[in-house]
Structure 1
Amino acid sequence: MVPLILRALHGQVHRFTGVVDRFGSFPLGGEVIHTVCIRELQHARSEQPVKPDHWWFRLREPWAQASVQLGDTVLFTAKVQLCTKGWDEIAIEPAVPVRRQRQVVGLGGRIRDVVVTRRAQRHSVVMDDLEEAVRLKAQQLVEAEDRARLLEQHRDALLRDLAALQKRLQQANIRCRVLDPKSAKALHVPLRCSAGGRQHRGFAVLSA
């Protein structure tokens, strides 16, 4: 995706995203000014990468309230304006160089609405999560093996019951072929039976 040049947004207020890269500080008027560098800058709405791709901000209250940490992904509002960044050396006289702060179009320091959209996972947190996942999988494996043993026992019992039922069915078929009137009545199967010297259809059910 083509980078979005900040100069094209000069004077406008937009939402940006980025990743907390590092913290820094510098002395100013006898005080220490704390700073934070946000890298991988993107325009929040269009998701276009921003050029320059990183920016230093003073660590003011909005950053502190969001409790930003290294690696956090943040969303914030900033005004694109003329800023000072770095130093240029100019020579008024050949032997007397003068340093002057460089003027560039960038993100103003008075940002607002800082939100951490994704916290960075620390190494210890990742390790703890992996160890917990291994423990859970091992427990699930033990439970699955127990269920498998129970299912195998249940399968064996069903096979025994099936064999017994098949044997009874075979015996019932043999009895039906004999055409015993009593057993035919007990079985409830259609048979030709003799009654009073005449042939008629009846039903047989195997008696217990």
Structure 2
Amino acid sequence: MANQHSVQALSWRRLYLSRAKLKASNRTSALLAGFAMVALVEIQLDQDEIPTGLMVAFSVCTTLLVVVHMFALLISTCILPNIEAVSNVHNVNAVNESPHDSLHCYIEMAWAFSTIFGIVFFLLDIILLSWVKFHMYRYAAIASTAIAIPVLIILCIFAVNFYRNLVAHKYERSTRGLEELESMAVELDNGGSKSTPDEEGRESHVIQHV
């Protein structure tokens, strides 16, 4: 019974974590994709003075930014209602009806697209936008680039360290869980091999009759 409760608690924890990731991905993707669309529509361009390569780089980066966030928004919008419906049910066994385990790869994909790739493309878009907007004022564009590039490098280092620590934490928890399951299996085997007093009495009674 205790083992069953621990399994149910772990399942509910994964459900709430998946729901939180989808909500964060939904909000972040909607915000950053909206910003990219506004920047693409409202920017004033002088096509005679802006280099063609810079225009192509800006349009490609902005398109990738919108596509990545729209993909994360699509995944979160499709999966989140099913998880919300289960999380609002006050029943311990209702967690088995949630698709958070079977769709775990899509949830992680939405989280990665919204937080890692989406923010990287967002910073790159800011750099390109500064060069497109201030192409006549190179010092302003250089200043913006000098600020954004260190932030981008720090973000990549933080993401790598964060996911390494997260994977190490999950591995440690999984190892601990396997050790607990092995100890419980050993205890069950030892308990099953031992006869209870009633069983011993019945066995001696049978032996006497034989």
* TM-score with structure 2 setting the length: 0.26
Q: Please state which structure has a larger fraction of its residues in helix.
A: 2
The structure, 1 or 2, with the larger RCO (C-alpha pairs under 8 Å, 6+ apart) is 2
Tell me which protein shows more strand as a share of its residues: 1
TM-score relative to the length of structure 1: 0.26
**Whose radius of gyration is greater, 1 or 2?**
1
